[in-house]
Structure 1
């Protein structure tokens, strides 16, 4: 508990009550000043309202009505202004004027100041608000609070309705009364009432504090005895404190009486507690010594167990790491086996594709051999036909030679006939005509025979070339036929080799599947071994941790036992300080 300066409760209570009363006095003084000020303001407002109403009653409303019909400077305006100025001076007012509300703005009509200071007609009225004029236009009076103007000082404005002879509101009369006398009036009232008020307050303060001091002195006197008893208890003098509490008399059963009973019960409870603590401390000391001896033996055994389990855990952990490493290697081998299996399957598929392609190629080669044989037969036949065409061209050329000779002889006979016809004269004209036609025919035949000879010669040349070409083609065809037959044999061998490779690939794939299954069984076995090893490692670590925790617990228990022994000794020493006799 933090130490502080010692003060009497009675003094503190007196200070608190005094502070409250002083605050109450200050508040009462402020309230008195405020009420006095409000009374002065209220009185001033009432006076201003009476002055305004008196001016409104004496104001010439008939002339004012005529002025409203034509609001401009005139004799009526001057008459009304002078009248307001006179009334203002007679009543001691700052300002008197008439106003109207136009477009939500208060405007002056007649200013009751001297002509040099008076405002013009329809000038805005400063300080007047159109919303305040609504109730005035309804026939009511409106009074403002004290207005503090930097130019005119403090004043109060009063607005009353101007009514015609028929009672109709025809305008607004405003008057401003100086409020500087409010402070003077307030001061005067305070001078009259404040001394009596302060005297009563001071008397009340003194009576209250005196009564409170006497009452608190009687009520709080038992607290001094209780304070002494509490100090005795703190010093360990429980018997002396008990005797003092028995001699204490408290007539009223209030909080102090309850506190005294509580302190007395606390003293008795503390006496019983000290006795129990002494008895318990002796028992704890004996028990802690026995526990200390047992914990020492358990600590030695636990330390040996922890060291042994730590060695076992280290060996098991090494075996687990080895098994896990082998499992990782088997995982890599599994990936390699799987890849090899996939490659074998791919090879098998490729070989099957090659087998199909080889079978198709072999079929196409057989068809090519058949076609080459047919081509060879056709080339042989064509060669023979070209040879026959060449022979026929030779025969035709011989016939053309015979026809050319016949045409030459016919031409010669026609020439001889023409000569004989010329010799015969007239008798030979018909024969001459026939001879001429025969000559033309033989000439035409000779020309046609020459053309046929040229054609036959070309045919013979072409036939010779065709015979040479066909001979070369026949030779190439024979070579191609032999090569195709050789290729057909190669395709047959390839098909046999592809079949062998396909069988080998299928066998290799089956063997790789067997290897994969064996590898999976080995990997599963290694996984189980690793799991068992991890479980053993975890178990060993848990046992080692439990042993270490037990060692830590026993060590802590040993420390606690030592602390308990020290605490027991301390409690024994402390309880010896209490006087129970």
Structure 2
């Protein structure tokens, strides 16, 4: 199918689609206009109906909503209005317990579809009822109900004579005539619409066909020229009459002009390419020979630099070994220095301790004579105590003798009292008491005698011990003198050792400083060797990259030669004038 036929069918389809959409929107507009008109009519009817409600009776009913005479009077009035206006339903509602409930239903008394007082309904919401109670009149949308058919509800406020809103009235108007009215309007306008649409389609199609033929005329010559170019024929240029006229500056005309320019440019380009390919083929052969020599030189340079890099790496490893040994030596020197410092510190402590010991011995030696004197005085005191104890023994002997004599006297007194009879009873009691005291004194004297004997024995042992202690103190004084001399010698030795430790610590510090300097120089040498090895490796990498590049250039030169030969063959298929 040609492009012209495709465009014709597309334009016809678009025109038919536009006509169909226009018909659809016209139908929707007519339906909406009729619905709005009927809704406005329903709202006006609801407002007028609300005005005819007996407000006094309705207020009375609201005060006591029961089926009394007032209820039936209002219901008859609403039914009469419903029949006269042709409405389907007329009801009054209120909101109770957050639900919309029906108060009056304008149906006949014997109607079986009338709603009782207080029946809930979903036709209105509490918000809508509240809006009407504020004095608004609501226009509702068309309702399509399967049970009641199509109807238009309208809600209006019921006002008393003072203009206060006392209730809400809903009026449902039948909307079955709306569709009939819309269908009638459409049927009246169908002939005019169809005739207009057919004329519009024919005129649009004819005009579009003429424009397509006029616009696509240059494409035929463009197609013929493109087929020749596809066959490699550049000997016949594009026809001059295809040049775009001043009146045809659309996309097709610009395409034809651009194609004509492209044909001339492409022919010139291919001629230049053919000339360039011949030159490239010769250059590729020369480049291939040069790259072979460069590749051999690059391989030799890379091998030499690799040997230099290997030597630098070996030197770097040896330098690293030296660095490790120097670090170990530095650690050993540091450990030795710490040990020497510790020995020096301990020597100082020992010297201090020896000095303290010497001072203590000196004080002990100084106090030993006093101790010896104290021991001697204690011995003399013990001798005097022994003498006093002997005197106590003599006195106890006297007391014992007196007690024995007193006992005898008490016995004699008791005998004499017995002889005296009852006159000597009091004296006998005194004699018994004296005898008992004499016996107790005799017992106490014996105990004191035993204690004095024990004390004398212990004092003898104590005197012997004190004499031995006095001798030991004398010997201890001699030993302390000898210990003092030994500590003096030790203090002198410790002082010499302390001086030696200080000298060794100074020597270790100098050795440690020297090792640090040597280690720093070796680390600098190691860094230099690492940089040299790294630089050598980089040079090797560059040489290898250069060698790879030369190889790639050689391969590219060979490929270029092959491509040049291929292009020569392909360009031979084109024909130039």
Q: Write the distance in 1 (CA, Å) between the matches of 2:125 and 2:301.
A: 102
Query: What's the CA shift for 1:350?
Result: 0.7
- 1:521-560 pair list within 5 angstroms: 521-560=517-556
Q: Return closer, same or farther for 1:229/1:508 CA change in 2, 3 Å cut-off.
A: same
Contact 2:139 2:154 in 1 (8 A): yes
Query: What's the CA shift for 1:528?
Result: 2.6
Q: 1:111 aligns with which of 106, 127, 145?
A: 106
Q: Write the distance in 1 (CA, Å) between the matches of 2:225 and 2:547.
A: 50
For this pair of structures, how many residues does the alignment match?
A: 527
Aligned counterpart, 1:416: none
Q: Write the distance in 1 (CA, Å) between the matches of 2:565 and 2:83.
A: 104
Q: 2:123 aligns with which of 119, 127, 142?
A: 127
Aligned counterpart, 1:35: 29
Q: 1:563 aligns with which of 559, 564, 568?
A: 559
Question: CA-to-partner distance for each residue in 1:222-252, whole Å, 9 max, x for gaps?
Answer: 1111122223223322231x1x332435443
Aligned counterpart, 1:422: none
Aligned counterpart, 1:293: 289
Q: Write the distance in 2 (CA, Å) between the matches of 1:147 and 1:95.
A: 14
Query: What's the CA shift for 1:308?
Result: 1.6
Q: Return closer, same or farther for 1:355/1:89 CA change in 2, 3 Å cut-off.
A: same
- Determine whether 1:355 maps to 2:351: yes
Q: Any idea what SS the aligned residue of 2:301 has? A: helix
Aligned counterpart, 1:516: 512
Q: Write the distance in 2 (CA, Å) between the matches of 1:144 and 1:30.
A: 24
Structure 1: stretches of 5+ with no match in the other structure: 1-6, 412-446
Q: 2:20 aligns with which of 26, 35, 41?
A: 26
Contact 2:152 2:175 in 1 (8 A): yes
Contact 1:77 1:110 in 2 (8 A): no
Q: Any idea what SS the aligned residue of 2:173 has? A: strand
Query: What's the CA shift for 1:341?
Result: 0.3
Question: CA-to-partner distance for each residue in 1:464-504, whole Å, 9 max, x for gaps?
Answer: 54542332122222332333233223323322332343233
- Determine whether 1:273 maps to 2:257: no
Query: What's the CA shift for 1:196?
Result: 3.7
Query: What's the CA shift for 1:58?
Result: 7.5
Contact 1:159 1:172 in 2 (8 A): yes
RMSD of aligned alpha carbons = 4.1
Query: What's the CA shift for 1:518?
Result: 2.9
Aligned counterpart, 1:415: none
Q: Write the distance in 2 (CA, Å) between the matches of 1:91 and 1:359.
A: 139
Structure 2: stretches of 5+ with no match in the other structure: 406-441
Higher mean C-alpha deviation, range 141-150 or range 346-355:
141-150
Aligned counterpart, 2:7: 13
Query: What's the CA shift for 1:306?
Result: 0.7
- 1:443-522 pair list within 5 angstroms: 464-522=460-518
Query: What's the CA shift for 1:131?
Result: 5.6
Q: 2:147 aligns with which of 146, 151, 156?
A: 151
Q: Write the distance in 2 (CA, Å) between the matches of 1:383 and 1:167.
A: 143
Contact 2:243 2:256 in 1 (8 A): no
Contact 2:102 2:116 in 1 (8 A): no
Question: CA-to-partner distance for each residue in 1:427-485, whole Å, 9 max, x for gaps?
Answer: xxxxxxxxxxxxxxxxxxxx9xx99x979999976775454233212222233233323
Query: What's the CA shift for 1:185?
Result: 3.4
| TM-score (norm: length of structure 2) | 0.78
Question: CA-to-partner distance for each residue in 1:191-219, whole Å, 9 max, x for gaps?
Answer: 33334423432332233123212221122
